[in-house]
Amino acid sequence: MIISMRPHATREEIEHVCERIREFGYKVHSIEGEERVVIGVVGVGDVTACLESLEATPGVERAMRISAPYKFVSREFKRERSIIKVNGIEIGGQEFVVMAGPCSVESEKQIMETAEGVAEAGARALRGGAFKPRTSPYDFQGLELEGLKLLRKAREATGLAIVTEIMSDRDVDLVAEYADCMQVGARNMQNFALLKSLGGCGRPVLLKRGMSSTIKELLMSAEYIVAHGNPHVILCERGIRTFETATRNTCDIAAIPVLDELTHLPVVLDPSHATGKRSLVPAVSRAGVAIGADGLILEVHPCPEKAVSDGAQSLTLAGFRQMMRDLQPYIRLWTESRLSRATRAVALPESPVAV
């Protein structure tokens, strides 16, 4: 159940509602939204009686039963699509947002050259890992704090927002100091301690789908972050493992419209990890635009053959510029359809969701 309080509900009203919920034998999860307080209710009990009673309680705007196992992130809970702001850039809104950069931050020269190149070509955010989750413990693990400082320098030089990976709950405060958006990688999608601590990190989170995770599991992980207090979550499809070996992962392109049906959160596509192959990135990016993703996050390196990680799937700067040019007609169509969808959405009746 979800209880949405009126915008100016008082502390006393909120506390009274929480008390009533507990009296019915349920547990309370409270979220302070920007405009209103939303209370998540979990547990077993007499749902109908509880809903009826709460709807009549002062300060309550709406009490809803959510049938999906993920509550706050479901479309049932919120019908309008969420727009997540990353340093002023709106993801999930009227702009198709491209985030680009190297797999790993390697040196000042590498990150500055990449940042300037991708900004010039139209990227809005710079990606780059300072903490790297590597399959082998002998591989490059990232520059850590030094890498974060280099990302900050690149932001100062270009104005690009910074998206960088967080691997451990121990590093949340440190990474949040430097990042505009905290990336949770595929390998950590079910690191529940990390997800819980991101609930209080004060930054938007880009949550990548685990390589062996279902869409439902991805949404349950997003639910962890939101239920722990942070509603600013962007989902990312980055390919999943299948029997197919021609590509590094299998790009589950249908996940994008599936997610659009199930959740109000924005979804971006990572064509680099989805394919593992530079030559395939432009075509899969086009597919992402055409199918209605909210943006792309992809790997670009000034000299991919020298990259310490993921060189084979990284575009060169020239390749990225070309791809951005080639994407323009698709992005124009994307923008038109976004605008018409926004107009249509206004015309729809209020909340068709069953209470």
Residues that bind ligand PEP (CB under 6 A): 103, 129, 133, 185-187, 208, 238, 270, 273
Residues 310-329 that bind Mn ion (CB under 5 A): 310
Residue 163 region by backbone torsions, left for phi larger than 0, else alpha for psi between -120 and 50, else beta: beta
Least distance CB 209 / ligand PEP (angstroms): 8
Q: Which does 134 bind (CB under 5 to 8 A by kind): ligand PEP, Mn ion, none?
A: none
* Token code pair at residue 15: 């506390």
Using Cβ positions, the residue closest to ligand PEP within the complex turns out to be 185
From Mn ion, ligand PEP, none, interface partner of 233 (C-beta below 5 to 8 A by class): none
* DSSP SS3 for 62: strand
Partner whose footprint covers residue 208, from ligand PEP, Mn ion, none (CB < 5 to 8 Å by kind): ligand PEP
Footprint of Mn ion on residues 99-128 (CB under 5 A)? 103
CB 283 within 8 A of CB 298: no
For Mn ion, the nearest residue by Cβ is 103
Nearer to Mn ion, 29 or 278 (CB): 278
Least separation in angstroms between CB 293 and Mn ion = 18
Give the one entry of Mn ion, ligand PEP, none that residue 238 binds, where binding means its C-beta sits below a cut-off of 5 to 8 angstroms depending on kind.
Answer: ligand PEP
Shortest distance in whole angstroms from residue 73 CB to ligand PEP: 20
Binding partner selected for residue 207 from ligand PEP, Mn ion, none, CB under the kind-specific 5 to 8 Å limit: none
- Report the nearest approach of Mn ion to the CB of residue 347 (Å): 42
For ligand PEP, the closer CB: 2 or 105: 105
Give burial (CB, 10 Å; 0-12/13-18/19+) of 81: buried
8 Å CB contact between 237 and 273:
no
Q: Which among Mn ion, ligand PEP, none contacts residue 185 (Cβ within 5 to 8 A by kind)?
A: ligand PEP
d(Cα 6, Cα 12) in Å, to the nearest integer?
13
Number of residues that bind Mn ion (CB under 5 A): 2
Min. distance of Cβ 281 from Mn ion in angstroms?
12
* Alpha-helix residue ranges (DSSP H) falling in the chain: 11-23, 47-55, 108-121, 145-158, 172-178, 192-198, 215-227, 255-262, 271-275, 281-291, 317-347
- Of 41 and 240, which CB lies nearer to ligand PEP in the complex structure? 240
CB 29 within 8 A of CB 199: no
Nearer CB in complex with Mn ion: 259/297:
297
Q: Residue 294 or residue 310: which is nearer to Mn ion going by CB? A: 310
106 or 270: CB nearest ligand PEP: 270
Q: Which stretch binds Mn ion (CB under 5 A): 3-11, 34-42, 305-313, 315-323?
A: 305-313
What is the closest distance, in whole angstroms, from the C-beta atom of residue 127 to Mn ion in the complex?
9
Select the binding partner of residue 260 from Mn ion, ligand PEP, none (C-beta < 5 to 8 A, by kind).
Answer: none
SS3 161: strand
In this structure, are strands 97-101 and 295-299 parallel, antiparallel, or unpaired?
A: parallel
Residue in 137, 162, 76, 119 with CA at minimum distance from that of residue 355: 76
Question: Alpha carbon of 11 to those of 15, 116, 199, 227, 277: distances in Å?
Answer: 6, 48, 22, 20, 54
Number of Cβ within a 10 Å radius of residue 109: 10
Give the 3-state secondary structure of residue 128.
coil
For residue 101, the partner it binds in Mn ion, ligand PEP, none, with Cβ less than 5 to 8 A by kind, is none
CA 35/CA 210 separation, integer angstroms: 32
Q: Which two tokens stand for residue 300?
A: 């670009």
What's the CA dihedral at 266, 272, 274, 278 to 10 degrees?
Answer: 150
Residues that bind Mn ion (CB under 5 A): 103, 310
